[in-house]
Amino acid sequence: MQGGASGIGYGLKYQARCISDVKADTDHTSFLTGTLSLKEENEVHLLRLSSGGSELICEGLFSHPNEIWDLASCPFDQRIFSTVFSTGDSFGAAIWQIPEPYGQSNSSTLESVASLDAHVGKINCVLWCPSGKSDKLISMDEQNLVLWSLDCSKKSSEVLSKESAGMRHSLTGGAWNPHDVNSVAATCESSIQFWDLRTMKKVNSIERAHVRSVDYNTKREHILVTADDESGIHVWDLRKAKVPVLELPGHTHWTWALRCNPEYEELILSVGTDSAVNLWFASASSEKKTSESSGEVSRQRVNPLLNSYTDYEDSVYGLAWSSREPWIFASLSYDGRVVIESVKPFLPRR
């Protein structure tokens, strides 16, 4: 189906919040998305972009027992993914495997690989180690960060370590550092915390209120990007993190999530509750010098907003770049609308 003015659209049956790039599928541009229906049986859709790039095809439709609040594809096995789910009364997290063969004619049942059952409160996310074929996972609830070892062949998981963030902090999400597998950034109500997984201790923090989303720049070590509820998007150099090195305006309402491009270091995508997806150009060469003594935040000399995609009628919560074709991204609005867009016209010259 053709969606909006330029995007390729696909409609889910129910409301939804999360979408993930299937990084391990090197033959296709693929995404996984899951629904969020309290009263109905929920679904996971495996979507693939056609070889001509003109159609989004459902390659697999799978039933999921509960509301899906977070979904992440395994970076080294395209059939495996994680979900954080709610039963209405409690939260859980699990690892699933897509059965073979599969198709969209019937809703297939997912194969359970492992349950991440070391949590008590609300679980926020599951993070896969970004480096190679690692058996390590992290799950976060509001108070704890848990490091797991996963054995898919034995369908088992083991807690390697568990640490509390402290009663004064409520964790909301995070990102695993692609440049250092022992480092994780975790967001909470009043700060961004940096954890060393070897000791399971917090080693640093940036005081920042109401950070919704955080992502590392995969091409530039030490660069972290954050999205705040009301004050927009900030780019940080972690070697001198007293003030951000760059500030972007974000959205007209809450900026909900952001993602750095996996290949083009200057490109950042953000989504918000203003029903828009924004594409930003954030280049170090276009920043003004920052004066740490004066505490000023540098801004770009030219308009950093390359494009705003407004093919939506509801808040946009889900966002994923394609690893295989890094000029393509998928976004997901709460009403279950998936849109695939290409940013080729905006790619920086090399």
Tally of domains in the chain: 1
Instruction: Tell me, yes or no, whether 175 lies in a domain.
Output: yes
Domain encompassing residue 174: 8-282+301-346
Name the residue with tokens 């696909």.
10
- Is-contact 170 129, C-beta < 8 A? no
Instruction: Tell me, yes or no, whether 287 lies in a domain.
Output: no
Residues 153-198 have pLDDT tens digits of 999 999 999 999 876 778 999 999 999 999 999 998 889 999 999 9
Instruction: Tell me, yes or no, whether 296 lies in a domain.
Output: no
Vertex 132: Cα angle to 20 and 60 (nearest 5): 35
At 290 the pLDDT is 41
d(CA 148, CA 160): 5
At 163 the pLDDT is 94
Instruction: Tell me, yes or no, whether 142 lies in a domain.
Output: yes
pTM to 2 decimal places: 0.91
- Residues (pLDDT < 70) of the chain are 1-5, 102-107, 167, 284-302, 350
CB atoms within 10 A of CB 109: 12
Query: DSSP assignment of 99-157, as one string?
Result: -SS--SSS-EEPEEEEE-----S-EEEEEE-SSSS--EEEEEESSEEEEEEEETTTTEE
At 105 the pLDDT is 54
At 138 the pLDDT is 97
At 292 the pLDDT is 43
At 288 the pLDDT is 43
d(CA 256, CA 229): 7
d(CA 151, CA 113): 9
Instruction: Tell me, yes or no, whether 294 lies in a domain.
Output: no
268, β-bridge pairs: 260, 280
CA atoms within 13 A on the CB side of 162: 13
At 232 the pLDDT is 87
Instruction: Tell me, yes or no, whether 201 lies in a domain.
Output: yes
At 167 the pLDDT is 65
At 208 the pLDDT is 84
Instruction: Tell me, yes or no, whether 1 lies in a domain.
Output: no
Residues 259-285 have pLDDT tens digits of 999 999 999 999 988 889 999 999 754
51-86 in b/e form (b: 16+ CB < 10 A) is eeeeebeeebbbebebbbbbbbbbbbbbbbbbbbbb
Q: Residue 87 corresponds to which amino acid?
A: T
Q: Residue 342 corresponds to which amino acid?
A: S
d(CA 53, CA 37): 30
Instruction: Tell me, yes or no, whether 84 lies in a domain.
Output: yes
Tokens in use for 226? 């954050």
Question: In CATH, what number is assigned to the domain containing residue 56?
Answer: 2.130.10.10
